Amino acid sequence: ASQVEQDLVNVLFTEQQIQRRLAEMAEQIRADYEGKELLMVGVLRGAVMVMADLARALDRHVEMDWMAVSSYGSGTKSSGVVRILKDLDSDISGRDVLIVDEIIDTGLTLSWLVNNLGSRNPASVEIATLLRKPEALAMPVEPKYVGWDIPNEFVVGYGLDYRERYRNLRDIGTLAPHVYAPVPPG
Ligand code: PRP
Ligand code: MG
């Protein structure tokens, strides 16, 4: 196992499982947007991997744009404050928009984004997410495309980070306890 893979204690989804599920989601999306132009909006930074793989699995014309939001505000996510760090480059009025993210946790990020993008007069706004934690959900979010529901555990890989690391793992899993252990002095 590589240096990065050694830190995973439990693999929830392998690279192969993720790609297979994305292919199924892509098939659904292709059918739903047949005859329409599709603008995919990825949520930086976690959605980079799923956006790249889902867009390629779609195997049709799409446009891609990106937003960066901060859901920390005054300290924690529970503050409920969301700020735009990077807005879309495109005008979405009249467009069919598909927001792409890798996980819905409390739902704060995507409920806010759906409202925000919804106020710009798009033809439609839907959500595709690879993962969702139903037990953690605190805001109303109804994604049309969901890869898997998972328990309320801290997961990393495939875009998901712990202190900015592990986003580049091909699999998704939970971290070994030694990762969280404090570094001894010296
Ligand atoms: C993570 C994740 C989702 C969001 C989900 O992003 O990528 O976008 O949190 O959590 P929520 O449902 O509770 O809002 P984060 O804001 O940590 O930034 P990142 O994408 O740069 O990792
Ligand atoms: Mg994110």
Domain CATH for 119 = 3.40.50.2020
Tell whether 75 is covered by a domain: yes
Tell whether 167 is covered by a domain: no
pLDDT tens digits along 133-176 = 999 999 999 999 999 999 999 999 999 999 999 999 999 999 99
Across the chain, the runs of DSSP E, i.e. the strands, are 8-13, 39-44, 63-70, 83-86, 96-104, 124-132, 145-149, 172-175
Number of domains the chain contains: 1
Tell whether 92 is covered by a domain: yes
Nearest residue CA, atom 21 of ligand 1?
Answer: 45
Angstrom CA distances, 4 to 34, 72, 144, 146, 165, stand at 40, 27, 33, 27, 9
Tell whether 186 is covered by a domain: no
Tell whether 161 is covered by a domain: no
Place of tokens 């690879």: 130
Q: Model's pTM, two decimal places? A: 0.94
Query: Is the pLDDT at 119 greater than 90, yes or no?
Result: yes
**End-to-end CA, the chain:** 28
CA of 2 to the centre of ligand 1 (A): 26
161 C-beta closer than 6 A to ligand 1: yes
Angstrom CA distances, 63 to 24, 38, 98, 109, 161, stand at 20, 6, 10, 22, 26
CA of 16 to the centre of ligand 1 (A): 24
Tell whether 7 is covered by a domain: no
147 C-beta closer than 6 A to ligand 1: no
pLDDT tens digits along 44-81 = 999 999 999 999 999 999 999 999 999 864 555 566 78
Tell whether 122 is covered by a domain: yes
ipTM rounded to 2 decimals: 0.99
Considering 105, 149, 161, 171, which one is annotated as catalytic? 105
Rounded Cα distance between 143 and 66, Å, is: 18
Per the annotation, the verdict on 105 as an active-site residue is yes
Question: Residue 127, Cα to own-chain centre: how many angstroms?
Answer: 10
Tell whether 166 is covered by a domain: no
- State the ligand closest to the CA atom of 106: 1
Token pair of 74 as six digits: 């005054």
46 C-beta closer than 6 A to ligand 1: yes
102 C-beta closer than 6 A to ligand 1: yes
